[in-house]
Structure 1
Amino acid sequence: MNLPTRAADAHAALAAAFNTGDVATVLNMYDFDGIIVPEPGKPVSGKDAFEEAIKSILSIRGTMEIKTVYCLQTGNLAVGRSEWNITDGEEVKVSAKGIELMRQQPDGTWKILIDHAFGAMENITV
């Protein structure tokens, strides 16, 4: 899997990685120095915790779609706001609004440093 070379492409790259169903491919999108919030109120960090969170998300069978609401970049950091869902045919299994912080890597590609998958939902807690 090729990592995005533009921060604005990180959401599409993450959805494409998810849709492979391959944990390693999805994990490649993340910077393990960061945080992922796979469930409201349950932030985790570190490679092992990231892997457990990704496996949990991948256990939701379906197709992920991510719409980029905005992506603002300054230097090697970017913040994105997303609206995403996982569907299986007509059934919507998960639908949420997220906030992501991305960091450019030394090779020019972008990885997600903080992924608060539900961070833009109303009445959400960290």
Structure 2
Amino acid sequence: MHLPKKAEDVHAALAAAFNTGDINQVYTIYDYNGIIVPEPGKVVSGKQQFEEAVKAIMAVKGTMEIKTVYCLQTGDVAVGRSEWNITDGDEVKVSAKGIEVMRRQADGSWKVVIDHAFGALDTLKA
């Protein structure tokens, strides 16, 4: 899998990686030095917790779709707002609105450094 060369392509790359079912491909989209919020109110960091969070998301069987609402970039940093879901046929398993911070890597590719998967929900509490 090729990592995205544009910040605005990160959401599509993440969905494509998820849909392969290969957890290692999903890991390549993330910067392990960052944080992930795999469920409302739960912030994790560090490689072990990060991997556990990704495994939990991968355990939801279905097809992931991510719509980029916006992606704003300045230099080597970008922030994106997404609307995403995981569906299995007609059944919606998970649906949320996220906020992601991406950073350009030394090789020119982009990775997610902060993934607040539920960060743009109207009912979210800090």
Check whether TM > 0.5.
Answer: yes
Shift >4 Å, 4+ stretches: none
Gap runs ≥5 in structure 2: none
- Measured in 2, the distance between the counterparts of 1:125 and 1:49 equals 22
- The structural deviation recorded for 1:123 is 2.1
In structure 1, list runs of 5 or more residues that go unmatched: none
Which residue number in structure 2 is paired with residue 37 of structure 1? Answer: 37
Q: Percent identity?
A: 71
What is the Cα deviation at residue 68 of structure 1? 0.1
Could you say which residue in structure 2 is the equivalent of 1:66? Answer: 66
Alignment deviations for residues 5-59 of structure 1 (CA, whole Å, 9 cap, x no partner): 0000000000000001111110110011110000000010011111101110010
Q: Which amino acid aligns with 1:62?
A: G
TM-score computed with the length of structure 1 as normaliser: 0.98
> How much is the aligned-residue C-alpha RMSD, in angstroms?
0.7
The total of aligned residue pairs comes to: 126
Q: Post-superposition shift, 1:70?
A: 0.1
CA contact under 8 A between 1:27 and 1:50: conserved in structure 2?
no
Quick one: which amino acid aligns to residue 121 of structure 2?
A: M
Query: Equivalents in 1 of 2:27, 2:87: separation in Å?
Result: 21
Look up the SS of the partner of 1:51 in the other structure.
helix
Give the TM-score, by structure 2 length.
0.98
Instruction: Determine the structure 2 residue equivalent to 1:22.
Output: 22
Whether 1:48 aligns to 2:54 is: no
CA distance in 2, matches of 1:28, 1:119: 22
